[in-house]
Structure 1
Amino acid sequence: MRARVVAFAAGVAAFAAAPAAAQLQPEEQAIVATVEDGFESDVALLEKITLINSGSHNHAGVKAVADALIPEFEALGFTTEWIDQSANGRAGHLFARHEGAAGTTKMLLIGHLDTVFEPDSPFTGFVREGDTAVGPGTLDDKGGIVVIIAALRAMKQAGTLDDANIVVALTGDEEDAGEPLEAARKDLVEAGKWSDVALGFEGLSIRDGKDMGVIARRSSGGWTLTTSARSGHSSGIFSEYAGYGAIYEMARILDTFRRELAEEDLTYNVGFMAGGTPAHLSEDGLSATTSGKTNIIPSTAVARGDLRALTQEQNERVAEKMRAIVADHLPGTEAQIAIEFRYPPMAPTDGNHALLDKLNLINADLGREAMQPYPPSLRGAADISFVAPYTDGLAGMGPAGTGSHAEGETIELRSIIRQAQRTAILMSRLSQERPDD
């Protein structure tokens, strides 16, 4: 079912030509009402799981959130499985499965149990003021989990869940994935290969006050650059016998990156650097130390940064260009770069565009505006990217809010309603399709 990759701009107006939408069916009208009626119960569930600290390294807390959710899924007829990840340095993942009619669309719903806020974080609690609430993970991604449950509950009430083939994958380490990454994401990738459609429930993208559709997300990788040179008295700098020193070689490489790598949807940030005699990268790779004197040519320099691209082809092509730039040394210097691809890209495809078209038919039936594709350069990587090579997908199906990953993270509570209604109707319609026919 995988559709070919297309240029992002090609599909921006694709849904403009979509056929006129039909009216909501009676069961879809029931979904709309059920989600609305369940709003306060959904907020109560959000508060309950927000008050459980589930920083990625708080294994007991991540498991406690899963334990709080298991009864919610089982009440809807799902079988649940806790997939232990202690061998990979993390708590585990919660998978919930529902078997429906044979041959119909297989749907994968993706969210995560963990947050960036560890137990020692001063940002705690759940504070509601009207239709907003502040708390760690309310938006990213406990609010997304609540959207999933609200949508499934509405489908159950309306009778559209019976035929639906669904796997819900709630990872316990999205904010800081376990190692090795292949093992940490093995179960998710297998679910992606099983599915026909994947929906990612991180936060809703909004631009100029309008809800947007996420059909693409960029990759997230990293690089480590090390330069070395002969040290000596600074009076010899630039000479044939002394060369240019490690810092000038580092500066040459980074500035050449800046000048020669620029292209659409690509970024390559330098997170930190250090140079001197010597410079050392810390064991965890998150800091560096150095020392030196102004009259000594520096012997070493280190820098680390990230690399984000829209397609795997762009990833690999840019990485080769980076390696070529690094290899063109200044006299008297050496340099090495190590590039690691971690989160793959979710490239824009015909299939992803077609899913957004279907969602926009639902928006029309609900009396809402069509959702334009959100620029992928404005979103980070996510777990849905791991399944993007195998299935069509939409991301950004979670609630709206502000301040993800920061103290004061806020959710717009009533956005749970519109996202759950969209999701439930979309899944209900997909559950009646037979993608292999």
Structure 2
Amino acid sequence: MRLLLAACALLAASPAAAQLSRQEAAMAASIDADSAGTLTLLERMVNQNSGTLNLAGVRAMGAMLRPEFEALGFTVEWIELPETKRAGHFVATHKGNGRGKRLLLIAHIDTVFEASSPFQKFSREGDKAIGPGVVDDKGGIAVILAALRAMQKAGMLKQADIKVVLTGDEEKTGDPIPVARRDLIEAGKWADVALEFENLARENGQDFGTVARRSANNWTLATTGRTGHGGGIFNAETGYGAIYEITRILDAWRAQLIEENLTFNVGVIGGGTPATIDKDGVRIEASGKTNVVPATAIARGDLRSLTPEQDAAARAKMQAIVAQHLPGTAATLTFQDNTPPMAPTEGNRALLARLNAANKDLGLPQMAEFPPAKRGAADSSFVAAYADTLAGMGPSGGTLHAEGEWLDIPSIALQAKRSAILMSRLARERR
């Protein structure tokens, strides 16, 4: 009775909100009524360490969430991936009537805070929740469950075909990546729509929709030169050496390749006689003398682009610059594919328009597109080629990946309302 009265009050609250159906108003009221329970679950999740490399902790998170989804009628599976040296993934499937849009909900249960981190426990300061992974991405999981529970109570879940994939290695993806993301990609091929529940994009009090994310791939550049006495540098016999060659290439990239939504950071560099890089590609050892022309130089960094076409064009330009060797030098450039781009497609923008219709009916402001250069890569990029995708459906927060990570508690209910209404409408649309 209390939920019914609250739903009626919501319907009558404003002319904009009058566009909500009776069931949608009931969902919004239910989310508010269950806010304390949602926050209690979030606290439990945060207090369970699930750093990516804490395999037991990641699996414990899966065990904690299993009954939450099973209570909603989902079939839960834990997918083991021992070949990737990661804990695996949590997959929950809800079978509806088979007529509406198939919905894929994406989040991750791992965090950057390993068991050795001093930042381990949930705390609260007013409307701010603080803790490891509280917004990235345990708050996103809390939003998913709050929305699904509201849909169930309003009778809107039973017809919905939904698959939830909570990856266990988003923060440090297992290798090989095609194996680590195989099940997520298959879910993307099954789905018509994918909603990713990482943190909401919010700036200066304004909420934004995420219709695009840039890629996150790596490159390794290695140059060689003829070593010899430093006094012979630049002459025809010795040439320019490996360090001048790598400097030429990097500076030419800077001068010729910079464009909107394309970046290519240099993360580590070293040169000398000799210079080597470790198998993980993060540590370079080099030594040399001021009077010896360096034989080897190595640099490693990332490449981020908005579309596959932009990525391919950038790689071609980078290789063309590499090929213009200084005298007496050689160079090789290799790429490592990690996360593809989530391009800003018309299908993604249509999803944001649907979300903005829900915003209007809730009496909320419209959400503009968030600039993709301000967001990092995420698991949604692996499915964006197969399903219309909208990211950033999780709660708002800050200080991600650092001690003091925090979440805006009211944003959990806000995002759950947006999600429940959007999902229930999509589930009623014919495929």
TM-score (norm 2): 0.95
Count residues in correspondence.
Answer: 416
Matched, 1:49 2:45: yes
Q: Distance in 2 between matches of 1:98 and 1:243?
A: 66
- The 3-state SS of whatever aligns with 1:42 is helix
Contact 1:362–1:425 (CA<8 Å) still a contact in 2?
yes
The match for 1:3 is none
The match for 2:193 is 197
- The 3-state SS of whatever aligns with 1:148 is helix
Q: Distance in 1 between matches of 2:362 and 2:308?
A: 36
- The 3-state SS of whatever aligns with 1:411 is strand
**Which of 231, 235, 246 is the aligned partner of 2:242?**
246
The match for 2:263 is 267
Q: Which amino acid aligns with 2:143?
A: V
Q: CA deviation at 1:146?
A: 0.5
Matched, 1:305 2:295: no
**Which of 286, 296, 303 is the aligned partner of 1:290?**
286
The match for 1:7 is none
**Which of 217, 223, 242 is the aligned partner of 2:213?**
217
After TM superposition, the structure 1 = structure 2 runs for residues 19-418 of structure 1, keeping only pairs within 5 Å, are 23-418=19-414
- The 3-state SS of whatever aligns with 1:357 is helix
Q: Distance in 1 between matches of 2:173 and 2:274?
A: 32
Q: Distance in 2 between matches of 1:289 and 1:136?
A: 34
Q: Distance in 2 between matches of 1:102 and 1:427?
A: 15
Unmatched runs of 5 consecutive residues or more in structure 1:
1-19
Q: CA deviation at 1:220?
A: 0.6
CA RMSD of aligned residues (A): 1.0
- The 3-state SS of whatever aligns with 2:19 is coil
Q: CA deviation at 1:324?
A: 1.0
Contact 2:274–2:294 (CA<8 Å) still a contact in 1?
yes
Q: CA deviation at 1:39?
A: 0.8
- The 3-state SS of whatever aligns with 1:297 is coil
- The 3-state SS of whatever aligns with 2:72 is coil
Q: List structure 1 segments (4+ residues) > 4 angstroms apart after TM superposition.
A: none
Residue 197 to residue 22, structure 1, CA distance change in 2 (3 Å)? farther
Q: Distance in 1 between matches of 2:283 and 2:68?
A: 42
1:342-362 CA-to-partner distances (Å, cap 9, x unmatched) read 101100011111111111011
Q: Which amino acid aligns with 1:220?
A: A
- The 3-state SS of whatever aligns with 2:97 is coil
Q: Distance in 2 between matches of 1:355 and 1:22?
A: 22
Q: Distance in 2 between matches of 1:293 and 1:22?
A: 76
Q: CA deviation at 1:283?
A: 2.0
Unmatched runs of 5 consecutive residues or more in structure 2:
1-15
Q: CA deviation at 1:316?
A: 1.1
Contact 2:17–2:363 (CA<8 Å) still a contact in 1?
no
Q: Distance in 1 between matches of 2:178 and 2:57?
A: 24
Q: Distance in 2 between matches of 1:102 and 1:121?
A: 45
Q: Distance in 1 between matches of 2:401 and 2:323?
A: 37
- The 3-state SS of whatever aligns with 2:336 is strand
Q: CA deviation at 1:21?
A: 8.9
Q: Distance in 2 between matches of 1:357 and 1:197?
A: 14
Contact 1:222–1:307 (CA<8 Å) still a contact in 2?
yes
The match for 1:429 is 425
Q: CA deviation at 1:232?
A: 0.8
1:72-126 CA-to-partner distances (Å, cap 9, x unmatched) read 0000010100000112110010000001112210000000010011111111111
